[in-house]
Every structure is written in structure tokens, then in C-alpha cells.
Amino acid sequence: MDAMKAILTRRSVRKYSNKEISDGLINELIESGISAPSAGNQQPWHFIILDDHKLIDKIPDFHPHAKMILNAQRAIVVCGDLDLETNKGFWIQDCAAATENILIAARAKGLGSCWLGVYPRKDRISGLRKMLKIPLNIIPFSLISLGYPAVEQSKVDRYNSERIHRNKW
């Protein structure tokens, strides 16, 4: 699938089949994440792969919009490492870019994914921190649920000329 098609047809998928995702494919997704741009190339990220449903199934206890993760095959937590920051404050954009790269790569590889917001919600951060024993200098930023889709993904038209400005507001 070409890049434009993957970007334009990526949708949040919350229903998955029970087909397994290979470790090789997960590695390709991580590779996509770490190919994201970052401020001063600081690459302040870590990725936690979740494939144990004893853990995954606890997520809705502290994340109010994550019930769909119960039927996901795997999940990835994208984390920011404050000790790796050379350009203070930009870890958030860097981790968002890595998250989006993973979503697009998942689409290109025939997977469905959904970005579950974590940072800056304190209860979601502390829930993941406690469950996964994440140290204090590491901030869980986003959670990506993954699985082969049980629903179609297609382009939606969000073009709104009022939001597009040229040379001035």
C-alpha cells in the first residue's frame, strides 16, 4: 500500500479478529516509530509491547475509554524518557510523531489500530506506571491497541477550506 493510501484510509479500529500478530510485524511497527522526526534528533522514546492479556485486560480499570482493548491482540505503550531530552519540552511532540508513524505503518501492513490517549491524564499515567513498573523519569504517553481489523477502514472527507489559510490568517 502506498503512503498516501495508508494515511488517507487509516481509521481508529476498535474491533479486531483473533488472528495473531507476528513478532516480526511488531518489530516493523517499532521501527516505524523510531523513524519519526524528533527535536534535535533526541529520540526520547521507549516502547513497551503488551501481549499478556492478564495485563491488557486491566487497562479499562484506569482508562475510561479503553474497553475495546479487551479484544486487541497486542498493544504498544509509547513512553517519553525525560532524561533523554536535550530540547526540553519537545518529548511530547516527538512521542506523538512516533505514535502516528506506528498507526500509519499498522494500516499499511493490514492491521487495525487505535491511539488511546494517556498523557496528560494523571490517572492513566499512574495506572500504567503501577501496572508496568515504569520508573518516574519515564512518562507513558500513548497506548496503541492493535489487531487485524474486523471492520473496513476507508477515507473520510474532512476538507474544510475555512481552516486553510494562505500567506495571512
Ligand X SMILES: Cc1cc2nc3c(=O)[nH]c(=O)nc-3n(C[C@H](O)[C@H](O)[C@H](O)COP(=O)(O)O)c2cc1C
Q: Tell me which residues touch ligand X (CB under 6 A).
A: 11-12, 14, 65, 114-117
Q: At its nearest, how many Å lie between ligand X and the CB of residue 45? A: 16
Q: At its nearest, how many Å lie between ligand X and the CB of residue 69? A: 9
Edge to edge, what strands does the sheet with 45-50 contain? 45-50, 74-81, 138-147, 112-117
Taking the least distance from each CB to ligand X, the nearer of 24 and 89 is 89
Alpha-carbon gap, residue 60 to 44, rounded angstroms = 27
Taking the least distance from each CB to ligand X, the nearer of 9 and 42 is 9
Extract the C-alpha cell encoding 160: 474544510
Nearest-CB residue for ligand X: 117
Taking the least distance from each CB to ligand X, the nearer of 158 and 166 is 158
Cβ neighbour number for residue 152 with a 10 Å cutoff: 9
Cβ neighbour number for residue 98 with a 10 Å cutoff: 28
Instruction: Decide if 138 contacts 64 (C-beta within 8 A).
Output: no
Q: At its nearest, how many Å lie between ligand X and the CB of residue 10? A: 7
Alpha-carbon gap, residue 83 to 76, rounded angstroms = 21
Taking the least distance from each CB to ligand X, the nearer of 83 and 152 is 152
Q: At its nearest, how many Å lie between ligand X and the CB of residue 117? A: 3
